[in-house]
Amino acid sequence: MEKEYSELVKWSDNLSCGIKLLDDQHKGLVALVNEMFNHVTSDETQEHEYFNKVIQEAIKYVKIHFATEEKLMLAAKIPGYIRHKKAHGRFILTVLDNVYDYKIGKRFNLYKFTKFLKDWILSHIALMDKQDFEPIKNTTRAKNSRKFTFSGLQKHLFSLSL
């Protein structure tokens, strides 16, 4: 019997920041966390192998999303740009630190890593993104922002299963 797909995070309208472009990308991040969660097996070797396969693509995915938010903040002259960009930078550094630790032999636990991603992403989306993008939510300008989807990258990332 095939393993049932479970969701560690469920997208809800509470997470919406009112800008379709960003909401779509945030849904992609939620899907990414859920995809990782579904590869938790308690077999360290198997989990590490999966992690090595997907982590670089996942980082690329997150960086593209952060750049989209930062460009939008600059274009719309939203206050708090530096603070927000710093929060993104700290997150990327923490992820890279984790990757380095695992590379040099720190015990790997995919559930712990996935839980860290979930907690950070959810609190960032629900607090900082919501608050900072409030001034331009549901505006024509935001609605007409360049359409960007992760679909290609997402499909590729999700096809990399063990």
Select 23 or 129, whichever has its Cβ closest to Fe ion.
Answer: 129
CA distance 62 to 129: 14
Is the CB of residue 8 less than 8 Å from the CB of residue 33? yes
Q: Which stretch binds Fe ion (CB under 5 A): 15-23, 27-35, 111-119, 121-129?
A: 121-129
Select 24 or 38, whichever has its Cβ closest to Fe ion.
Answer: 24
What is the closest distance, in whole angstroms, from the C-beta atom of residue 98 to Fe ion in the complex?
19
69, 98, 145, 157: residue in contact with Fe ion (rule CB under 5 A): 69
Is the CB of residue 99 less than 8 Å from the CB of residue 108? no
Residue 35 lies near Fe ion (rule: CB under 5 A): no
129, 133, 136, 150: residue in contact with Fe ion (rule CB under 5 A): 129
Q: Which stretch binds Fe ion (CB under 5 A): 75-83, 99-107, 127-135, 138-146?
A: 127-135
Select 43 or 119, whichever has its Cβ closest to Fe ion.
Answer: 119
The pair of structure tokens assigned to 156 is: 């590729």
CA distance 151 to 109: 28
Residue 23 lies near Fe ion (rule: CB under 5 A): no
Residue 47 lies near Fe ion (rule: CB under 5 A): no
| 16, amino acid identity | S
Buried b / exposed e over 112-139, threshold 16 CB at 10 Å, is: ebbbebbebbbebbbebbbebbeebeee
> Under the rule (CB under 5 A), what is the footprint of Fe ion?
69, 129
